[in-house]
Chains A and B, each alone.
Chain A
Amino acid sequence: MPAGGDGGGAFIVMPIDQPFVSSDLDPEVVVAHGWNYSNNVNRFGDVTFKSNAAACSRCTGGGLYVSSGLLILANKCKFEENDAGFWGGGLSLSGSSTMAIINESSFVHNLAPVGGTAIYSSAGGKFSLSSPSFEVSENTTSTFLDIPQGPDSLSLMSPNVLCPPGHVFVNDTIGPYTEEIDPWGFMNVSTWLVACRACPSNQYSLQAAHIIDGNLTNTTCPNCPDYTDCSLGGASVFALPGYWCGSSGGGREIGCLVSVGILPSGGSPPME
């Protein structure tokens, strides 16, 4: 059941989709599954969800909450700066059958503390993302794409992802693997957990991981340079008292200045 307050911009529960179940179903055999979505369609084209909030502590779908039916997002829909109290900052999909086809849509700086700042889906229907854009806020540690038990036919084509500075791109997608789900029995499912993770404490990066048209440029998190404090992780590097530090090497490295000279990372302070 959705919590009161789900769907900050729009809250949509479609009619229940009827599952396709074979009459000679063998519960010991892994089968494909599906639902009949005919005449149960929810289409958004060139629609913007901006600065909406599903504000209660268990609320999902800051921009949009959809349960059941076939959801089509097309023609450059935008989800910007929406906020959910639980998961699904931009978009939350619920219901066992909900199917989503998302083309050329952007998810920018949405927030949800538990997971899926851009998209969270607990639905089991097919899920397709084509040419999506994700810009992840640095004010979150959550996944931006979170599908704990989706179908085996999850599809992600030509994504664009921009992580904040000091964050690496992490894809913890698992599967497909087999679960037993009514009314079909054994079936293959997948888990998608995709995130931009800040460099941990005492490491840093001045770079931002990004994906452009499906090509990943990730970053690494080297140890904190001498004479600096990186206890906050991410791209936060502070000079220790008595030193001046700045970036060098095209913004990739930190160097520190002591009195009259510049120390490369790992160097020793000059003799007094």
Chain B
Amino acid sequence: MNNLFTKWGEYRPICELQSVPKNLCLHRPPSPLPPFLNKQTFFHSFIGGAIAVNATEASENITISLVDNSISENEARFGGVLAAVLLQRSVYASDMFLSFSGDVFKNNNASGG
């Protein structure tokens, strides 16, 4: 089972082209991050206010687990599918497990496009 965040390298160009703050790309490689992200603070995501997961076309199993994170004061400035977390793979081929525990989502704003 693969960790979602090992896939972030593919979206590095998006981060750079949009001139977004560096911490937007907090989760991308070089080194694969562990599947459990604890006590992190996320800022300035693309869409979904804080986190967007689009796995309708994912082909590999995905596990995301967030524990005791503060996910606050993000703003989604683009409509459509740009996301803090975004996967696109083949249809009907993935298992997906999302687990959130003790997290706080606060003052996030998805204004869309």
Tell me if A's interface is mostly helix, strand, loop or mixed. Answer: loop
Expressed in whole angstroms, the Cα–Cα distance for A52 and B109 within the complex equals 6
Tell me how far the C-beta of A18 lies from the nearest C-beta in chain B, rounded to whole angstroms: 7
Q: Contact: B99 with A43, CB < 8 Å?
A: yes
Tell me if B's interface is mostly helix, strand, loop or mixed. Answer: loop
Among residues of A, the one whose C-beta sits closest to the C-beta of B53 is A12
Residues on A facing B (Cβ under 8 Å): 3-16, 18, 38-56, 58-59, 63-65, 68-69, 75
Partner of A11, one of B49, B104, B113: B49
Among residues of B, the one whose C-beta sits closest to the C-beta of A65 is B48
B76: chain A residues within 8 A (beta carbon)? 4-5
8 closest A-B pairs by beta carbon, nearest first, are: A5-B112, A4-B79, A11-B48, A9-B105, A39-B95, A4-B112, A56-B112, A11-B52
Q: Contact: B108 with A8, CB < 8 Å?
A: yes
Q: Contact: A3 with B112, CB < 8 Å?
A: yes
Question: Among the interface residues A47, A48, A58, A75, which one has the most CB atoms of the partner chain B within 10 A?
Answer: A47
Tell me the number of A-to-B contacts counted with CB atoms below 8 Å.
156
Q: Do A52 and B105 contact each other (CB < 8 Å), given the known contacts A8-B49, A9-B49?
A: yes
Q: Contact: B113 with A5, CB < 8 Å?
A: yes
Interface of chain B residues 43 through 69 with chain A (CB within 8 A) = 47-56, 58, 61
Among residues of B, the one whose C-beta sits closest to the C-beta of A38 is B95
Q: Contact: B110 with A43, CB < 8 Å?
A: no
> What is the size category of the interface that chain B forms with chain A?
35 or more
Q: Contact: B53 with A4, CB < 8 Å?
A: no
B105: chain A residues within 8 A (beta carbon)? 9-10, 47-50, 52, 63-64
Residues on B facing A (Cβ under 8 Å): 47-56, 58, 61, 71, 76, 78-80, 83, 91-92, 94-113
Q: Do A45 and B102 contact each other (CB < 8 Å), given the known contacts A6-B112, A7-B110, A8-B110?
A: yes
Q: Do A5 and B111 contact each other (CB < 8 Å), given the known contacts A45-B100, A52-B106?
A: yes
Tell me how far the C-beta of A74 lies from the nearest C-beta in chain B, rounded to whole angstroms: 10
Partner of B104, one of A38, A48, A53, A58: A48
Q: Contact: A54 with B55, CB < 8 Å?
A: no
A64: chain B residues within 8 A (beta carbon)? 105
Please, could you name 26 A-B residue pairs with CB atoms under 8 Å apart, sorted by A? A4-B76, A4-B110, A4-B112, A5-B113, A6-B110, A9-B48, A10-B49, A11-B83, A14-B55, A15-B92, A15-B96, A16-B56, A39-B61, A40-B95, A43-B97, A45-B100, A48-B105, A49-B105, A52-B50, A52-B108, A53-B49, A53-B108, A53-B111, A54-B112, A59-B110, A59-B111
